[in-house]
């Protein structure tokens, strides 16, 4: 995650649903919505591909196998229990580390496999891993948004995963900074900027897509990497 910079026209924090937007669209996304393109995840193949790329996985293999077990057991859980188990899993399995330390890059979006192999990631890596796992567990993309925020106490850019029971509902926030899943109104330390999912890009407090976002971007690169690892993920 890049260091925080104040967006043009940035305003003071206000309640979560009606925040002003910093104009940060950039070259981020290229999303679609086809759940039908999601096939089964063959973890024997996925682990084999990872071993070809990284060699012996060591302790990472057990982390990936634990993720496999989560995707199988989690499908039987109630939706809120799925959120809890996925949030808890990645908050425990990954230690926080900046991209500059893990990847020697200023900003790198890791696949869940890359993060689990390293055993580390930064905020977007937690959010990405949680998003794809919950999608695998059957939660539709329209209920999930990867949300770019400012962490006010840290005074820096941050990313979380938000979950909506309905389009007009107050979102719940899945965050690597705390283990509790809380309603957005209880996360006054976070200032939303924009959010995205497989449907498109959204402004804070809006249920309408700002953009179809079908452009080459880090998101498209991420999907491409996951497909190469052996995942069927459609367009996210």
- Binning pLDDT at 50, 70 and 90, where does residue 218 land? confident
Q: From CA 25, how far away is CA 210, in angstroms rounded?
A: 10
* Res 9: pLDDT: 32
| Candidate from 100-104, 199-203, 226-230 with smallest mean pLDDT | 199-203
Q: From CA 59, how far away is CA 154, in angstroms rounded?
A: 32
* Res 211: pLDDT: 67
- Binning pLDDT at 50, 70 and 90, where does residue 198 land? confident
Q: What contacts 190, CB < 8 A, 6 or more positions away?
A: 16, 149, 150, 151, 152, 158, 160, 173, 175, 184
Q: What's the pLDDT tens digit per position in 142-176?
A: 999 999 999 999 999 999 999 999 988 999 999 99
Q: What's the pLDDT tens digit per position in 13-41?
A: 444 543 333 333 333 433 334 444 677 89
* Res 21: pLDDT: 35
CATH architecture of the region 16-229: Roll (3.10)
- Residue 50 near residue 57 (C-beta atoms within 8 A): yes
Adjacent-strand bridge partners of 120: 95
């Amino acid at each position: 995650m890049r260091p925080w910079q104040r967006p043009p026209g940035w305003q003071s924090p206000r309640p979560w649903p009606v925040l002003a937007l910093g104009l940060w669209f950039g070259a981020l996304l290229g999303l679609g919505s086809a759940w039908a393109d999601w096939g089964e995840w063959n973890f024997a193949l996925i682990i084999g591909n990872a071993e070809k790329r990284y060699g012996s996985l060591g302790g990472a293999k057990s982390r990936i196998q634990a993720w496999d077990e989560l995707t199988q057991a989690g499908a039987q859980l109630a939706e809120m229990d799925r959120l809890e188990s996925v949030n808890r899993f990645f908050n425990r399995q990954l230690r926080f580390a900046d991209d500059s330390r893990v990847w020697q890059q200023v900003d790198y979006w890791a696949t869940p496999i890359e993060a689990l192999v390293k055993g580390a990631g930064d905020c977007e890596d937690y959010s990405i891993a949680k998003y794809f796992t919950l999608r695998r567990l059957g939660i539709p993309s329209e209920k999930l948004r990867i949300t770019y925020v400012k962490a006010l106490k840290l005074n820096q850019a941050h990313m979380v995963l938000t979950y909506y029971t309905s389009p007009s509902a107050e979102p719940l926030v899945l965050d690597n900074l705390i283990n509790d899943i809380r309603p957005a109104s209880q996360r006054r330390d976070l200032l939303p900027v924009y959010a995205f999912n497989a449907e498109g890009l959204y402004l804070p407090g809006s249920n309408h897509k700002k953009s179809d976002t079908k452009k080459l971007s880090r998101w498209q690169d991420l999907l491409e990497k996951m497909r190469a690892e052996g995942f069927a993920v459609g367009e996210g």
